[in-house]
Amino acid sequence: MKPISSTSLLISTLLFSLISGTTANPPTATLYKSKFIGRSLPEFNQDLFLGIKYANKPTRFTPTELKTAYASHDSNSGAYDLTKAGASTSTKSVYYNATQYGYDCPAYGSDTTTLVNQGLATLNEDCHNLNIIRPQSSTDELLPVVIWIFGGGWTQGATADPRYNMSYFVQQSDLNDKPVLGVSINYRVSAFGFLDSEEVRAEGNTNLALRDQRIAMRWVRKNIKAFGGDPNKITIWGESAGAYSVGAHLVTNDGDNEGLFRAAIMDSGNAVGPPYNGTEWHQPMYDRIVERAGCTESSNTLQCLRNLPYATLYSAAYEGLEWFATVDGTFISQYPQISYKQGKISKVPVLLGTNTDEGTSFGTTGTNTDEDCIDQLISSKRWVLTRPQATELITHYPNISSIGCPYGWGNTTWPSLGVMYKRYASMAGDITMVAPRRLLAQTMSGFAGRVYSYRWDVAAQNSSSTIGVQHFAEIPFVFANPVQTITPLGSDPARLELGQMAARMWTSFVADLDPNGHGVDRIPRWTRYSNRATNFVFRLPRNESYIEDDEYRLDGIDYINTIAR
C-alpha cells in the first residue's frame, strides 16, 4: 500500500491538457458502434473521457431521453481530428470527441460568474453530458464507480468547476490500491431545471433536474462497462443540493432504485432538509418570469417561454436562490420525512455527514427577539414551518450564547449580526442539515447495517468573513486538490494530508462499502451507526480525529424530526 505524501505529489493541474486537448495514442472506448476518443493524463496516470452526452438537448422544459446513438459531430467540442487517432479522414466510422469538457447548464450566481469570466465554463442548454476519469493502473477487472452530483443551491454548479476536479480524488483511490472510476454529471438547474407552476404541472414536467440526473444514472448503469466500470458497483455522491438530489433518488419510486446504484454518499444534505414548496411558492416566480419575458398575453405562456431565444429567457428567468424540488405526486410522491417513516426508501449502505457550524451559512442577521426568530422561521424560503411549530421550536433552543452556533466559541457574540444570531443559527443549521442527517442515519440503520456518519470540524481556509466550520468547508479537503484557487485548500501540508485521508475514506466506501480501508495509521476506527449512534469527527491534524456520541441538542433535533417535510 502506497503511503500518502505530506505534500502534493503532483501540483500541476488539468488546465494545460484541457486547453490543448491532445494526447499521443489516446485512450478509446467503443459503444453503440462508435469510438469515443479520450485523453491520457500522464501526471495522474489516468484516462479521461470528457463531455460525453447522456442525452440530446431536449425541448425546453421537457424531460430528457436516454441517448443510444452517436454521430461524429455530436460532441460540444466538435468532430475529432482523425489524424490524431491515426485514422483515415475518409472513414465512415463514428469517432466521438471526448477530449474536453462539454457545455455547462445555464446557471446563476457568483460561482457561475467566476467560472464564465475565467473561461472555465460555457453555458448552453445543450449541456446533458458527463465525464469519466479512469486510473490507467487498473487491471482487466471492472472498477467500482462513483457518480458525483454537484451542489450549488440547485441554482448554479458545473462539472468544469476546478473544485470538483475528480483527478486528485481518483488518484488517492489508486495510491490506496482501491482504484475507483469517477463520473461527474451536468444537469439543469434554476428555472431551467425546476420551473414549477400550474402550467408546468398540467404537462407533468416537474423536477426536471432530478429527472436529468436519473437519466444520467441510467446511461452509466447501461454503458459504464465499456469504459472499465462495474455497473453493479455504483455509488451516487453529492454535496449540498447534490446531496439533496442523492436523497431524492433514495425516496423516488417508493424507494425502488431500479438497480441504478448500490450505495450513497451525502455530504451536508439529504432528501429531508430542502423545502418542497408547491405552486403556492413557485407560481408567483413563474408569473414574474412570464411578465419579464413579455409572454403575459400569450394563450400558452409556457410555450411562449419555450419559443424565446436563449439569451432572452436567461435574462428573464433569474429569480435568485429560490429554486427547489417539489412534491409533484410522481417523482417526489410525498414529503421525504414521511417516506422515511414508511420505509419507502432505497435500503442501501450510506455515508453521510454535516459540518459543525452549518447554521452560520443558513441563518440570518437581525434576529433580536423571540418574535424575530419566529417570523424568520415561518417566512424563510429554506423551510416551511407553521407559527405553532416555530413557537414550539424556539423553546428547545434557549438564547444562551455559550451553546449557540458557531459552537465551541463560548460566550463570543456578534452584536452587529443580531442579539440572537447564535440562537437562530443553531436552529437554522439543525433544520437544514443536522436533524435530517441524524434522522436518515437512524432510519437507514434499521434497514442497512452499513451506515457511517461524520461531523466535519475543520474550517475552510481562514478569511475575515468566515465564522466557524461553515457549509462547503469539507469540499476542498475531500477532493484533495491543492491547487484550485476558488475555495483553496491552503498551503499547510497537514490540511492536504487530512484531505487525502478523507478522499481515501470516501473511495474506500465506494470500493468496499467501508470507509476504514484508508491505510492511514493512528486513526480511530469509524464505527457503524447501527452498532452505536456515533459520528467520526474530522480534526486537524488528522490523527486528532475522534469518535463522538451523536447525542447533542437531542430535544430540539427530536422535535424537528417529527415535522413532515
What confidence tens digit (pLDDT) does each residue in 348-388 have?
999 999 999 999 999 999 999 999 999 999 988 788 799 99
CATH class belonging to 44-65+100-342: alpha beta
Length of the chain (residues) = 565
Which among 167, 197, 240, 245 is annotated as catalytic?
Answer: 240
pLDDT of 218 above 90: yes
Per-residue confidence (pLDDT) for residue 20, from 0 to 100: 44
Per-residue confidence (pLDDT) for residue 87, from 0 to 100: 63
- Domain boundaries 354-562, corresponding CATH code: 3.40.50.1820
Q: What is the C-alpha separation between 196 and 289, in angstroms, rounded?
A: 11
User: Do 44-65+100-342 and 354-562 share a fold?
Assistant: yes
Split at pLDDT 50, 70, 90, the class of 139 is confident
Q: What is the C-alpha separation between 463 and 183, in angstroms, rounded?
A: 32
pTM for this prediction = 0.95
Split at pLDDT 50, 70, 90, the class of 500 is very high
Q: What is the C-alpha separation between 150 and 225, in angstroms, rounded?
A: 23
DSSP bridge partners of 389? none
Per-residue confidence (pLDDT) for residue 465, from 0 to 100: 66
Q: Is 240 an annotated catalytic residue? A: yes
With a pLDDT cut of 70, the percent of the chain lying above it is 94
Per-residue confidence (pLDDT) for residue 274, from 0 to 100: 92
- When pLDDT is averaged across residues 91-120 and rounded to a whole number, the result is 96
Per-residue confidence (pLDDT) for residue 19, from 0 to 100: 39
pLDDT digits (tens, 9 = 90+) for 293-328: 999 999 999 999 999 999 999 999 999 887 899 999
DSSP bridge partners of 354? 455
Measured between alpha carbons, how far is residue 440 from residues 154, 181, 184, 291 in Å? 21, 27, 25, 41
Split at pLDDT 50, 70, 90, the class of 109 is very high
Q: Per-domain residue ranges for the chain?
A: 44-65+100-342, 354-562
Sign of CA dihedral 450, 456, 457, 458: positive
Nearest partner of 350 among 434, 433, 250, judged by Cα: 250
DSSP state of 4: P
